[in-house]
Amino acid sequence: MKKLLSGNEALALGAYHAGVRVATAYPGTPSTEILESISQFKDIYTEWSTNEKVAMEVALGSSYAGARTMVSLKQVGLNVAADPFLAAATTGVKGGLVVINADDPGIHSSQGEQDNRRYAELAKIPILEPTDSQSAYDLMQVAFDISEQFDTPVMLRTTTRISHSKSVVDITGQRQLREQKMEFPRQMQKYVMLPVNARVRHPLMEERLVKLAAFGDTFAFNQLEKGEKKLGIITSGIAYQYAKNVFPNATILKLCLTYPLPPELLKKFAAMVDKILVVEELDPFLEDHIKAMGINVIGKEFLPRLGELNNDVVTGAAVKADLLPASQPLEKISIPAKLPMRPPLLCPGCPHSGAFYVLSSLAQRLKLPGSKQTDKTSTLVITGDIGCYTLGAYPPLNAMDTTACMGASIGQAIGMEKAGISNKVVAVIGDSTFLHSGITPLIDAVYNQSKITVMILDNSTTAMTGHQEHPGTGFTIQGDPAGKVNIENIVKGLGIADVKTVNAFNLKEVRAALKDSLERDELSVVIVRGNCAVKVPKKVNPRAVDKELCNQCGICLLIGCPAIQTEGPQPVIDGTMCMGDACTICEQICPRKAIKPASPVKVGVNK
Amino acid sequence: MKKFDLLLTGVGGQGNILASDIIGDVALTAGYDVKKTDTLGMAQRGGSVISHLRIAAQVFSPLIKEGEVDILIGFEKLETVRWANYLKPGGIAIINNYAIPPLSVNQGLEHYPTDAEVKNIIGQRTDKLYLVDGSQKAAELGNARTLNIFMLGCLSKFLPFEIKDWEVGIALHLPERLLKLNMTAFELGRKEIR
Ligand SMILES: Cc1ncc(C[n+]2csc(CCOP(=O)(O)OP(=O)(O)O)c2C)c(N)n1
Ligand code: SF4
């Protein structure tokens, strides 16, 4: 049966057909949909883990017990999981263990650009890279076999473009499940990594690489496509597709096992062609390793190390490298005025908006649009974290000063305070992020007697990545009831005395709590609770601006709510977007009380 | 087999991803190779959303080269002119005559292109511009969300697929209770292109 599947859907289906029994993950773009997709099969165990490190450890245990297991994570997720990832590489596996790692060239939605093939090299484990959804489906099945045959975790590396593109998959297989009893026979030398045992494992890892390299020489998915002799292309992943478009006549070596590289196959290929260009995204990973084998290739002196490739970029590089003749570029359209950008915004009715409005006002950062007023020296420093709430960094809210990696806000705040800045420091962190990696730094704050204020924005979901459940929501990925962790109890359990919980949609309450905490000379936590607008089932009583009462002061525009628009200087509320009774933030800040429930809206032009 | 490179542009929530999924399935049914890729800069939060859809006997890159789009399908005017350079000379542009001004425009800091500017920008590539009243027609139908199927109706006039394949494709992606209304929107879309 032929179907259009995204790379992520194809990976999930391939794993299911390969007999995976346990799948773990923490959400992150672009890998999120892999677990979501495989969780539709009720006969396997799937979990959203607390964070990637835990996901990797649960997977490792499951593999030790004999189950075919997979972990999926985004590239920075592997930073978090690096410790157990390297441990897994050392101990090896029992049931096949596949780590699906999704890189994000072009930084579509990450806090950085990194080439995680380097991690597999560090861990001395194999990398498989699909070139489209069909190959994702096929390779997933092979991945488990390789893992078991070579006693190693396998990195299956995808990129945003592979994960999020749909292409045709011929679904040939069906679920193959071994009859098997789950058991863990003790084996001290393999599973207890005391130095004496780790010393035994290391040479096995080196041997493993040698065997894998030889395996790659005849691996059916490393494919040689014969073409003209004058140009050879070595490529992998999505770059293969661009190479096929740009060099239709070249001889191409498509590598799907990209680490370790197949020495004999590469030598054979090099002997077949006059010149070799390596086409790969991000780092010169293949290129460096091929050069180290003594094979002469060109690559990154023409192709960028940054961002995604595409046909235009590869063509440009080919022209620079004299591999293609320059062609007359199509004339660009002249655009009369600069087109306005459309940055993402917090949704209408977002529970984070009010919290940031208060924070911004306490930090004296609110500025009317277009006003010439210069930034006052802020009394506060606001360390931030990653989630929808990172959008609070943008104008008009301007209420976030740092974003580094998940969970960093609290540690950064402690560090600023200890370094001795004179401002009070507030750390802002979301609920999923807090549970992911905010607890250990909060312990640090208690232990080291820090006096920062921590704001936990609890919208009861992992909104940024598409509203996944987490340990605080009380539901599993499949929507079944689950254990529910209480954030107040965690915080109080650490021994923090000043802990307040406030309603995100009551600005007076938020303001009073925050102001009180900021004035105190002790560690404090304010939990701001309110449902994510996307989770609110129904919009009731959208608000409207009473033009008689409104004096066009523009204060309501400082929330940055997309439902509040302008007709000339007059603010107006788009009733089809307004969340109404569920929010009322603008109503609370309007000094003239000009914002009120509108008369019921007619079903009109929707946006 | 002819090739069709389509670019769909819009704002999160307008339903253009679903539309491109439907086109993909219809093309697959019609025996074509298909690749589709969406770029969504945080679509949920009102960001811009574009889909590249490539239909041919065999497709390699899922991304279309600049200047090679055969049909540009715009759900929102600003987001469409933003991608105008992708249209091939003499290509077709079907644009929903509808504006969703970004915050900076609402705050009076930036300028939203006028209809004359939209026509001028697209006009530098092609005279085959269809400015259609999709949002209005969808609202008149009583369900603004039918916009995407209306746009598919417009598009269907330029693609070699049979109406029954479109029906099957649409039914695959929409709940049954909404089918009738959406097929009406599809018909309205077809009528819009003369
Ligand atoms: C290590 C790591 N894993 C995953 C992600 C992807 N990611 C970004 S923010 C986020 C969680 C956001 O949830 P929450 O803190 O509850 O904030 P919300 O978006 O709900 O406001 C995730 C999973 C990441 N950036 N880094
Ligand atoms: S998805 Fe939820 S948390 Fe994210 S911006 Fe929208 S309302 Fe806020």
Q: Which domains does chain B have, with CATH numbers?
A: 4-192 (3.40.920.10)
Structure tokens, A474: 């009380």
- Amino acid A36: pLDDT: 98
- Indicate where chain A has its CATH 3.40.50.970 domain(s): 2-216, 351-534
User: Using a 6 Å cutoff on CB, does residue A384 contact ligand 1?
Assistant: no
Residue of B35, B63, B96 for testing the chain A interface, max A β-carbons within 10 Å: B63
**Contact A126/A212 with Cβ under 8 angstroms?**
yes
User: Using a 6 Å cutoff on CB, does residue A461 contact ligand 1?
Assistant: yes
Contact A347 B37 (CB under 8 A): no
Nearest Cα neighbor of A396 from A433, A365, A354 is A365
Contact B109 A242 (CB under 8 A): no
User: Could you write out the DSSP letters of every residue in B100-115?
Assistant: ---HHHHTTSS-PPPH
How far apart are the CA of B141 and the nearest CA of chain A, in angstroms? 10
Nearest Cα neighbor of A126 from A219, A33, A58 is A219
Q: A215: exposed, middle or buried (C-beta count within 10 Å: 0-12, 13-18, 19+)?
A: middle
User: Using a 6 Å cutoff on CB, does residue A158 contact ligand 1?
Assistant: no
- Amino acid A373: pLDDT: 63
C-alpha–C-alpha distance, residues B92 and B25, integer Å: 22
**Contact A472/A523 with Cβ under 8 angstroms?**
no
Chains A–B, number of C-beta pairs less than 8 Å apart: 155
pLDDT tens digits, one per residue of A380-402: 999 999 999 999 999 899 999 99
Contact A161 B37 (CB under 8 A): yes
Segment A473-496 mean pLDDT: 98
Contacts of A242 (CB under 8 A, 6+ apart): A279, A309, A310, A311, A313, A314, B60, B61
What fold, for A223-320? Rossmann fold (3.40.50)
Q: How many CA atoms lie within 13 A of A40 on its CB side?
A: 8
Site residues for ligand 2, CB cut-off 6 Å: A 346-347, 350, 352, 388, 459, 463, 532-534; B 44-45
Which residue's CA lies nearest to atom 13 of ligand 1? A462
Which residue's CA lies nearest to atom 8 of ligand 2? A350
How far apart are the CA of B100 and the nearest CA of chain A, in angstroms? 7
How far apart are the CA of A238 and the nearest CA of chain B, in angstroms? 8
How far apart are the CA of B39 and the nearest CA of chain A, in angstroms? 8
Question: What is the CA angle A419-A424-A427, rounded to 5?
Answer: 90
Structure tokens, A389: 């709430």
Amino acid at A423: N
Contact A391 B45 (CB under 8 A): yes
**Contact A211/A132 with Cβ under 8 angstroms?**
no
Q: Which CATH architecture has domain A538-605?
A: 2-Layer Sandwich (3.30)
- Amino acid B45: pLDDT: 73
- On average, the pLDDT of chain B sits at 94
Question: What is the CA angle A55-A61-A66, rounded to 5?
Answer: 125
Contact A108 B41 (CB under 8 A): yes
- Amino acid A335: pLDDT: 87
Distance in Å, CA A28 to ligand 1 centroid: 7
Please report the atom of ligand 2 found closest to the CA of residue A346. Answer: 5
Segment B42-54 mean pLDDT: 83
- Amino acid A329: pLDDT: 85
- Amino acid B128: pLDDT: 97
pTM of the entire structure? 0.96
Least confident residue range of A2-6, B41-45, B88-92: B41-45
Q: Does A209 touch chain B (CB under 8 A)?
A: no
Q: How confident is the model at residue A603 (pLDDT cuts 50, 70, 90)?
A: very low
Contact B81 A339 (CB under 8 A): yes
C-alpha–C-alpha distance, residues A203 and A191, integer Å: 16
Segment A17-31 mean pLDDT: 98
- Amino acid A605: pLDDT: 41
Q: Does A539 touch chain B (CB under 8 A)?
A: no
Residue located via tokens 């740009």: A246
Measured distance between the N- and C-terminal CA atoms of chain A, rounded to whole angstroms: 38
Task: Report the percentage of chain A scoring pLDDT > 90.
Answer: 90
Q: Which of A75, A433, A434 to mutate to test the pocket of ligand 1 (most atoms within 8 A of CB)?
A: A433
Helix B179-192 / helix B163-173 crossing angle, nearest 10 deg:
140
Nearest Cα neighbor of A116 from A106, A103, A128, A100 is A103
Instruction: Tell me the residue length of chain A.
Output: 607
Segment A363-377 mean pLDDT: 73
Nearest Cα neighbor of A47 from A28, A75, A73, A22 is A22
- Amino acid A601: pLDDT: 46
Task: Report the percentage of chain A scoring pLDDT > 70.
Answer: 97
How far apart are the CA of B157 and the nearest CA of chain A, in angstroms? 23
- Amino acid B105: pLDDT: 87
A502 phi/psi in degrees, rounded to 5 = -130, 160
Which residue's CA lies nearest to atom 6 of ligand 1? A28
Q: How confident is the model at residue A368 (pLDDT cuts 50, 70, 90)?
A: confident
- Indicate where chain A has its CATH 3.30.70.20 domain(s): 538-605
What fold, for A351-534? Rossmann fold (3.40.50)
Residue of B11, B26, B37 for testing the chain A interface, max A β-carbons within 10 Å: B37
Residue located via tokens 């049909």: B71
Query: Does the structure show a pLDDT above 80 at A369?
Result: no
**Contact A226/A248 with Cβ under 8 angstroms?**
no
Residues facing A74 on adjacent strands: A102
C-alpha–C-alpha distance, residues B122 and B87, integer Å: 8
Structure tokens, A395: 């104008």
| Residues of chain A found within 8 Å of residue B24, distances taken between Cβ atoms | 4, 166
Which residue's CA lies nearest to atom 4 of ligand 2? A388
C-alpha–C-alpha distance, residues A384 and A402, integer Å: 5
C-alpha–C-alpha distance, residues A37 and A292, integer Å: 40
Question: What is the CA angle A468-A56-A26, rounded to 5?
Answer: 10
User: Using a 6 Å cutoff on CB, does residue A72 contact ligand 1?
Assistant: no
Q: Any idea what DSSP says for residue A403?
A: -
pLDDT tens digits, one per residue of A31-90: 999 999 999 999 999 999 999 999 999 999 999 999 999 999 999 999 999 999 999 999
Query: Does the structure show a pLDDT above 70 at B41?
Result: no
pLDDT tens digits, one per residue of A235-262: 999 999 999 999 999 999 999 999 999 9
pLDDT tens digits, one per residue of A448-478: 999 999 999 999 999 999 999 999 999 999 9
Query: Does the structure show a pLDDT above 60 at A106?
Result: yes
- On average, the pLDDT of chain A sits at 95
Which residue's CA lies nearest to atom 10 of ligand 1? A387
Query: Does the structure show a pLDDT above 70 at A604?
Result: no
Residue located via tokens 């989630």: A387
Q: Any idea what DSSP says for residue A176?
A: -
Q: Hey, which residues 353-392 in chain A have their CB within 8 Å of chain B?
A: 369-370, 388, 391
Amino acid at A360: S
Amino acid at A291: K
pLDDT tens digits, one per residue of B7-35: 999 998 899 999 999 999 999 999 999 99
What fold, for A2-216? Rossmann fold (3.40.50)
- Amino acid B42: pLDDT: 60
- Amino acid A76: pLDDT: 98
- Indicate where chain A has its CATH 3.40.50.920 domain(s): 223-320
Residue A332: how many other CB atoms lie within 10 Å: 11
Nearest Cα neighbor of B48 from A574, A307, A345 is A345
Distance in Å, CA A466 to ligand 2 centroid: 9
Contacts of A562 (CB under 8 A, 6+ apart): A345, A347, A348, A577, B46, B103
Q: Hey, which residues 277-296 in chain A have their CB within 8 Å of chain B?
A: none
Which residue's CA lies nearest to atom 3 of ligand 2? A532
Q: Considering CB atoms only, which of B38, B67, B113 is closest to A339?
A: B113
Distance in Å, CA A578 to ligand 1 centroid: 25
C-alpha–C-alpha distance, residues A58 and A53, integer Å: 9
Query: Does the structure show a pLDDT above 80 at A370?
Result: no
C-alpha–C-alpha distance, residues A76 and A113, integer Å: 9
How far apart are the CA of A568 and the nearest CA of chain B, in angstroms? 7
| Residues of chain B found within 8 Å of residue A327, distances taken between Cβ atoms | none
Query: Does the structure show a pLDDT above 90 at A19?
Result: yes
User: Using a 6 Å cutoff on CB, does residue A465 contact ligand 1?
Assistant: yes
Contact B28 A108 (CB under 8 A): no
**Contact A487/A431 with Cβ under 8 angstroms?**
yes
Q: How confident is the model at residue A576 (pLDDT cuts 50, 70, 90)?
A: confident
pLDDT tens digits, one per residue of A149-191: 999 999 999 999 999 999 999 999 899 999 999 999 999 999 9
Contacts of A321 (CB under 8 A, 6+ apart): A277, A298, A302
ipTM of this predicted structure: 0.96
- Amino acid A376: pLDDT: 61
Q: Quickly count helices (H) and strands (E) in chain B.
A: 8, 6
